[in-house]
Structure 1
Amino acid sequence: MAKVRVGVAGYGTIGQRLADGVALQGDMELVGVADLAPTLAVQALRERGMPYNLYLAQGGDKRIFAEKGIPVTGTFEELADSVDIMLDASPGGAGAENKKIYEARGVKAVFQGGEHNSVAEVFFHGYANYERGVNKNYLKLTSCNTTGLIRSVDCLDRRYGVEKVVVTIIRRVADPGDYHRGLTNALQIDRAPSHQAVDLMTIMPHINATGILVHTPVTHGHMITVVVSGKSKITKEQALEAFREHPRIRVVSVAEGFLGNASFFKYARDLGNPRGDMYEIGLWEDSIAESGKDLIYAIYIPQESVTIPETMDAVRAACGMQTSGQEGTEKTNQYLHIGSYRQEGSHALWNSYDR
């Protein structure tokens, strides 16, 4: 069976990681990436020896790339002509414009969380509604917080049944290296309900969800506290059993040294993961508690990398590579080595990196 040909639009925070993720998939071929300007990420790509072909996004000036010695393979349209599906990680709003190019060429696309839901046929999550995306042309991913939140809620819902969810999201204000939010020493609250709770109900309409979001002046990850009301009482032991079996949830404890968001980022770096990335969400065993019928727990969201597995799932669904969520997510996990540390005693996530 021929490999599915994939292109990436936008080589920024998410686009870099999407390119790496596709390159690790044994049944996909990364044709190339596209960007508008020779950003630091693109300059780093050149210094790495151009492992990926670079195409010029619309509005880009090829001469500027040439001045920096960055080779350009072709135009954005030529990239779109050469693939089966595009992963659009361009800035919010640009994806909708790019869609016109995809439609004209009959090319499928997966859009990231920054686009409006209307850009796609299906608002997609690999575990919660994989089958809805099978053989569809245009899918849109949930945001990083929503992706991780749904993983944990879906995990409990599949096994025990969930009726209601209430979340508090402690949101990092910007990605590492970003300056556009300014230098701050304050917390900022959004109006309730948070869009993550609304998005969860869009993906899982049988669950009632609401929540509050607080912006915090940090960069390494979000934290979410979750209150779950089950169809029947879910005990801490039951929840812990389910969470520990989920490939994309890493259960940790304070006693191990996981004191907060920075602990996860440092651990991922100590593992040797490029950029300090981690595909799993973190879930503190110590945070799981019962309150009457309800259950509470806290999760960590590595915002730069958490959506990459679900994006690989989306490619599999849209291109009909696997038609069931179980098969699709298992294939993605296999190629990204997600959960392999449980069997191998080591974290083999990136042992095929830059192959």
Structure 2
Amino acid sequence: MDKVKVGVAGYGTIGQRLADGVALQGDMELVGVADLAPTLSIRALKERGMPYDLYLVEGAERAQFDALDIPVAGSFDGLIGKVDIMLDSSPGGVGLKNKTLYEQKGVKAIFQGGEKNEVADVFFHGYANYEKGLGANYLKLTSCNTTGLIRTVDCLDRECGGLRKVAITIIRRVADPGDYHRGLTNALKIDKAPSHQAVDLMTIMPHVEATGILVHTPVTHGHIITVLASGKHKISKDMALEAFARQPRTRIVSIDEGFLGNASLFRYARDLGNPRGDMYEVALWSDSIVESGDDIMYAISIPQEAVTIPETMDGIRAAMRMQATREEGTQATNKYLGIGKWRK
């Protein structure tokens, strides 16, 4: 079988990681990435020896790239014509405009969480509804928080006899590392309830009632989510811990090991030598799992810059019918990304 040809639109925080993720997949080929300006990310790409071909979107000024000796392989339209599927990580709203180009070329596309759900045929998650994405032309990924949240909620739902409802609290980082547009602040900010993550979870898993509160915090390295889950039957701490331990993209950690919070996890990822300090797995504190009557409560950490990459690879597999089931699709993604190697 020929490798599936993939392009990436937008080489920012997510686009860089999407490109790296595709490049690691043994059954996919990264044709190139597209962007508008010679950003620091593009300059770093050039300094790394241009491992990926660069294409320019409409409105880009070629002279700016030439002045920096940044090689350009062609236009965005040319990239679209060479691929089977595009991964669109453009700024919110731009992906919807790009969809017209994809439709004209008969190319499939996967959009990231910043786009509205209406841009796609299927609101997608690799574990919760993989089969709904089979053969679809346009998929949209859940946000970083929703992606990690659904991994654990879906895990309990499948492994512990089903869930009735969940109540979540999200302690959300205010910006990605290096972003300045949010300003410098020393305050917490609360959003109106319910949070979109709870609404999105119900869109993916309509049989689970969800509600949630979101609080913005002046930090950059990751979110923390607490979840109170109500099962159809009582879920004990041991049942939950055993179930979570079987979820490939969930890493069990503890405070006693030194994982005191989001900064500990980011530092550990850097110490592991992970590129950019990324971690694909969500971390779940065993110390946080407590029984509350028949309910179970736990806390997870979301590495917002990298957590959606595995599910996007799953999306390619579903849309291109590379694997027919969630088990086969997610296992292939995990193998190529090296997810779960720490378990050995």
User: Which TM-score bucket, shorter chain as reference?
Assistant: over 0.9
- Structure 2 match to 1:147: 147
Deviations 1:92-136, CA, capped at 9 Å, x for gaps: 000000000000000000000000000000000000000000000
**Could you tell me how far apart the structure 1 residues matched to 2:243 and 2:249 are?**
12
- Structure 1 match to 2:274: 273
Deviations 1:62-103, CA, capped at 9 Å, x for gaps: 110000110100000000000000000000000000000000
1:181 and 2:202 aligned: no
1:86 and 2:92 aligned: no
- Structure 2 match to 1:241: 242
Equivalent residues in 2 for 1:153-192, closer than 5 Å: 153-160=153-160, 161-192=162-193
- Structure 2 match to 1:309: 310
Deviations 1:140-198, CA, capped at 9 Å, x for gaps: 00000000000000000001210000000000000000001000100000000000000
**Could you tell me how far apart the structure 2 residues matched to 1:57 and 1:89 are?**
13
1:194 and 2:173 aligned: no
- Structure 2 match to 1:32: 32
- Structure 2 match to 1:55: 55
- Structure 2 match to 1:21: 21
2:186 is matched by which residue type in structure 1?
N
Deviations 1:200-227, CA, capped at 9 Å, x for gaps: 0000000000000000000000000000
Q: SS of the residue aligned with 1:254?
A: coil
**Could you tell me how far apart the structure 2 residues matched to 1:136 and 1:255 are?**
45
Q: SS of the residue aligned with 1:70?
A: coil
Q: SS of the residue aligned with 1:229?
A: strand
Give the superposition deviation at 1:342. 1.0
Give the superposition deviation at 1:341. 1.6
Deviations 1:215-268, CA, capped at 9 Å, x for gaps: 000000000000000000000000000101111000000000000000000000
**Could you tell me how far apart the structure 1 residues matched to 2:303 and 2:342 are?**
18
1:287 and 2:288 aligned: yes
**Could you tell me how far apart the structure 2 residues matched to 1:61 and 1:83 are?**
24
1:261 is matched by which residue type in structure 2?
N
1:280 is matched by which residue type in structure 2?
E
1:72 and 2:75 aligned: no
1:204 is matched by which residue type in structure 2?
M
- Structure 2 match to 1:350: none
**Could you tell me how far apart the structure 2 residues matched to 1:32 and 1:114 are?**
22
Give the superposition deviation at 1:25. 0.1
TM-score (norm 1): 0.96
- Structure 2 match to 1:135: 135
1:307 is matched by which residue type in structure 2?
T
Runs (5+) with no aligned partner, structure 1: 344-355
- Structure 2 match to 1:325: 326
Q: SS of the residue aligned with 2:268?
A: helix
- Structure 2 match to 1:2: 2
Q: SS of the residue aligned with 2:335?
A: helix
TM-score (norm 2): 0.99
Percent identity at matched positions? 73
1:46 is matched by which residue type in structure 2?
K
2:159 is matched by which residue type in structure 1?
R
1:61 is matched by which residue type in structure 2?
E
**Could you tell me how far apart the structure 1 residues matched to 2:275 and 2:342 are?**
17
- Structure 2 match to 1:264: 265
Equivalent residues in 2 for 1:207-226, closer than 5 Å: 207-226=208-227
Runs (5+) with no aligned partner, structure 2: none
> Which ranges of 4 or more aligned residues in structure 1 deviate by more than 4 Å?
none
- Structure 2 match to 1:342: 343
2:231 is matched by which residue type in structure 1?
G
Give the superposition deviation at 1:58. 1.5
Give the superposition deviation at 1:57. 1.1
- Structure 1 match to 2:299: 298
- Structure 2 match to 1:122: 122
- Structure 2 match to 1:102: 102
**Could you tell me how far apart the structure 2 residues matched to 1:340 and 1:254 are?**
21
Give the superposition deviation at 1:7. 0.1
Deviations 1:326-345, CA, capped at 9 Å, x for gaps: 100000000001001212xx
1:232 is matched by which residue type in structure 2?
H
2:55 is matched by which residue type in structure 1?
Y
**Could you tell me how far apart the structure 2 residues matched to 1:220 and 1:58 are?**
33
**Could you tell me how far apart the structure 1 residues matched to 2:291 and 2:230 are?**
10
Give the superposition deviation at 1:28. 0.0
**Could you tell me how far apart the structure 2 residues matched to 1:196 and 1:228 are?**
15
**Could you tell me how far apart the structure 2 residues matched to 1:263 and 1:23 are?**
28
Q: SS of the residue aligned with 1:206?
A: coil
1:94 is matched by which residue type in structure 2?
V
**Could you tell me how far apart the structure 2 residues matched to 1:104 and 1:285 are?**
50
Q: SS of the residue aligned with 1:164?
A: strand
**Could you tell me how far apart the structure 2 residues matched to 1:166 and 1:128 are?**
18
1:250 and 2:251 aligned: yes
Number of aligned positions between the proteins: 343
Give the superposition deviation at 1:269. 0.1
